Amino acid sequence: MIERVEGALVASLGEAGEVVDVLRDGSASPDLVIRRVFVQYADRLQLDLAVIAEDAVRRGDAAPDFVTVYRAETAPRPAPAQQSAYSVSAEQVREWVFRGWRALLDADKYLQRGSLWEAHGRLHEARGFIWQVWAAAKGTSYPQHGLSQVLDDSPDDLPPGIEDTVAGLDATELRQALSAASTVLTRSSQACAPRLGTEPRMAASARTLLHHAEPADGSTPRPS
């Protein structure tokens, strides 16, 4: 049934305008079959659609922004209890915090080796975890989506100093951005304390290592 609906959907895409291209893929999970259809139109319109079984449809608080565009049955069958889109566990937040510090330490390592591209990439990855922690702190829906959910929910309420975590391919800029990211991740974790609880031991260790890291210009680090 899902495949038939997907086929009918793809066949009808041209009715909305000139189609540039279509990508069709799906989940690999045997427990939940999802067929995804992304279509790019010539007028820049984009549609990102999912075809799933009626029993798997998320509703209410579990999917506050989902819009049903087609339903095979007129009356949906009762669905089992579903996790709220706003829910996030302390273990998940803790993992984001841990991975954020790991990425910052990796960026520092690559910076000291003079590998600016790798340092830049890991800094960007760390920023992604910061956005997830901040989204959880602010109680957005789908906090795992980080930046996009923060901007959708409260575009004027961003992590203080987040703009200072952006750098080009310059060693000095990257060092300054790493220092800023350390501060922003710390403050975001503090803002998320009700959900996070005690931050991972990794955090204190990473802060110390980053504080005493060799400056990008090769000068001697300032004593604490």
pLDDT at 218 over 90: no
Whether 71 is covered by a domain: the verdict is no
Containing domain of residue 30, as a range? 2-62
Do both 48 and 95 map to the same domain?
no
Whether 68 is covered by a domain: the verdict is no
Do both 41 and 108 map to the same domain?
no
**Domain at 97, CATH number:** 1.20.120.330
Do both 119 and 179 map to the same domain?
yes
Do both 162 and 51 map to the same domain?
no
Whether 167 is covered by a domain: the verdict is yes
Whether 73 is covered by a domain: the verdict is no
Question: CA 190 to CA 97: how far, in whole Å?
Answer: 11
- Give the number of C-alpha atoms closer than 13 A to the C-alpha of residue 211, restricted to the C-beta side: 9
Taking the whole predicted model, whether its pTM rises above 0.85 is answered as no
Do both 10 and 101 map to the same domain?
no
Q: What is the pLDDT of residues 81-136, one digit of tens each?
A: 666 777 889 999 999 999 999 999 999 999 999 999 999 999 999 999 999 999 99
Number of domains in the chain: 2
Whether 119 is covered by a domain: the verdict is yes
